[in-house]
Amino acid sequence: MPFTTLGLSDPLLRGVLASGYTTPTAIQSQAIPAALEGRDLIGCAQTGTGKTAAFVLPILSRLFGERPAKKRIVRSLILTPTRELAVQIEQSIHDYGRYLDVRTLAIYGGVDIRKQLNALRRGVDIVVATPGRLMDHMRRNTVDIRSVEAFVLDEADRMFDMGFINDVRKIIATLPAQRQTMLFSATMPPEVRQLAAGIQKDPMMIQVGQQHNPIDTITQHVHAVLRQQKMDMLMHMLQNRQMPSVLIFSRTKHGADKIAHSLEQAGIDAEAIHSNRSQSQRQHALDNFKRGKCQVLVATDIVARGIDVHGISHVINFDVPLFAQDYVHRIGRTGRANIAGDAITFVAPDERDQLRRIEQFIGCRLAIENYEGFTCDHFTATLSRSEEHSRAQRKVARVRRAAKRPRLVRR
Ligand code: AMP
């Protein structure tokens, strides 16, 4: 089904085509017609599915599609958990809406507030914001969101994880009751469902793919390795394999800095991105990575959520993530928009339980592969033994359950 059949306004269709898209993705073809009618919706989609356009296009088409804005008032608000995501969404609005007269402003912390104040004074139509800085503007009375017609809560599950939910609730309480609300979340835990029930009216539910399954375009590899050998293994991989654009995840900020520093010393262009770096350093690192100026970006989970960089060839989990859902988000940075990618996870002996939790979460076993010169046979064997052990335990439990069952007595 081509974009032309979805009911988008003419200037917007031209903007979409100029962005290089011809066919809508699954979430776009389901969400756009409903959102154009002004319906509330819940989009539960895996990362990289094209969800940004699924809400940006109908907002632009419905509110700004035909006529130029008469008065600059904030008619749409998009809330997102991270600054990088806010910048990215703002960019998408500029791209798709290039033939429309729309003013968009990204409002986020870590940068001088004066620029945002000046832009707000001149008037904006769409605000894309992180909750903390938006609350700051609301307290100063420098932004007015009482005329919002279309509200988007993006990455709702992450808003809970990052502790932003109280600010989010306060912001929603200021919005007019009569509005369209679109909620997007990678997972749908009970607290997100509860929130949706309180802020939406008869939402249409759109789920694309299995909630927990990483997308098909990603090949997953797991290597057992001693913790003290992880750096050498990483270096060996980067120096001996074709890895043009690599995103490495570290569990800690200090770890991210250390990895980037070691790579730089070995002559590999690498940058670190985490919440201890200033916003301009973060943006600079991300821009360099996007433009291919550096081969490797080392990130922590907080900042990497939602990052959309075209053509990341490899994601490397230097540390196994603590939370299973973070695994899906991390590896979802590659294999986007149907381009194949590889996800590689280094597992040290003390990270076995985390790996098990990930396997339970995604519902499949991940084979342990040996990496040349770094075989950790003892560990691999222990892993397989523990698999056999849990298989045996399951069998014992089955036999015990069967023994407890009342038996039919045949006469
Ligand atoms: P998102 O899930 O919104 O972060 O989008 C993931 C990637 O898919 C981004 O790089 C988009 O530019 C790209 N994308 C979105 N919609 C389409 C489409 N209809 N056709 C091709 N690529 C798309």
Q: Is the pLDDT of residue 392 over 70?
A: no
pLDDT in tens, 78-99: 999 999 899 999 999 999 999 9
Nearest CA to ligand 1 atom 16: 50
Instruction: Flag whether 411 is in a domain.
Output: no
Ligand 1 neighbourhood includes 48 CB (under 6 angstroms) = yes
Of 208, 228, 257, the position where a domain reaches its end is 208
Do 177 and 304 sit in the same domain of this protein? Answer: no
| Whether residue 86 sits in one domain with residue 29 | yes
* Token reading at 143: 């932004």
Q: Is the pLDDT of residue 262 over 90?
A: yes
> Per-residue pLDDT for 291 more than 50?
yes
Amino acid at 319: D
* Average pLDDT for 233-237: 95
Are 107 and 227 in the same domain?
Answer: no
User: How much is the pLDDT for 380?
Assistant: 61
Is-contact 136 105, C-beta < 8 A? no
Quote the pLDDT of residue 67: 65
Q: Which of 5, 87, 329, 336 has the most ligand 1 atoms within 8 A of CB, as the residue to mutate?
A: 336
Q: Would residue 197 count as lying in a domain?
A: yes
Q: Give the integer Cα–Cα distance in Å for 171 and 26.
A: 31
Residues 158 and 230 in one domain: no
- The total of other beta-carbon atoms located within 10 Å of residue 387's CB is 13
In a domain, 289, yes or no: yes
- 244 located within any domain: yes
Residue in the block written with tokens 């011809």: 22
Q: Residue 15 is part of which domain span?
A: 3-208
Number of domains forming the structure of the chain: 2
CA angle 100, 138, 67 (to 5 degrees): 15
Task: Supply the mean pLDDT for the chain.
Answer: 87
- Residue 94 vs residue 323, higher pLDDT: 94
Q: Are residues 144 and 229 in the same domain?
A: no
| Cβ atoms < 10 Å from Cβ of 66 | 12
| 403 within domain boundaries | no
How sure is the predictor about 334, in pLDDT bands with cuts at 50, 70 and 90?
confident
Q: Is the pLDDT of residue 322 over 50?
A: yes
Task: State the CATH number of the domain containing residue 130.
Answer: 3.40.50.300
| 8 CA → ligand 1 middle, Å | 17
pTM reported for the whole predicted model = 0.69
Residues 227 and 128 in one domain: no
- Is the beta carbon of 337 within 6 A of some atom in ligand 1? yes
Confidence of residue 249 (pLDDT cuts 50, 70, 90): very high
If you measure from the C-alpha of residue 48 to the centroid of ligand 1, how many angstroms do you get, rounded to a whole number?
A: 7
Axis crossing angle, helix 10-18 with helix 51-64, rounded to the nearest 10:
150
What's 205's DSSP letter? Answer: E
pLDDT above 90 as % of the chain:
59
Torsion of CA 45, 332, 358, 348, to 10 degrees: -170
Counting ligand 1 atoms within 8 A of each CB, the residue from 21, 46, 217 with the most, and so the one to mutate, is 21
- Asked if residue 140 and residue 28 are part of one domain, the reply reads yes
Mean of the pLDDT values across residues 12-37? 93
Which tokens is 31 given?
């969400």
Whether 51 and 196 map to the same domain: the answer is yes
Indicate the residue among 164, 190, 208 that finishes a domain: 208
25-34: per-residue pLDDT in tens? 989 999 999 9
Supply the pLDDT for residue 409: 40
Are 43 and 109 contained in the same domain?
Answer: yes
Cα–Cα distance for residue pair 393/254, rounded to 1 Å: 40
When pLDDT is averaged across residues 358-374 and rounded to a whole number, the result is 84
What pLDDT, in 10s, does the model give residues 278-289? 888 988 999 999
Q: In whole angstroms, how far apart are CA 262 and each of 231, 259, 289?
A: 8, 5, 18
Task: Using DSSP, state whether 297 is helix, strand or coil.
Answer: strand
Note whether 136 and 111 are within 8 A (CB).
Answer: no
Does residue 46 have its Cβ closer than 6 Å to ligand 1?
no
Asked if 250 and 342 sit in the same domain, the reply is yes
Please give the pLDDT value at position 133.
96
Does 260 lie in the same domain as 152?
A: no
**Same domain assignment for residues 281 and 339:** yes
Q: Whose CA is nearest to atom 12 of ligand 1?
A: 50
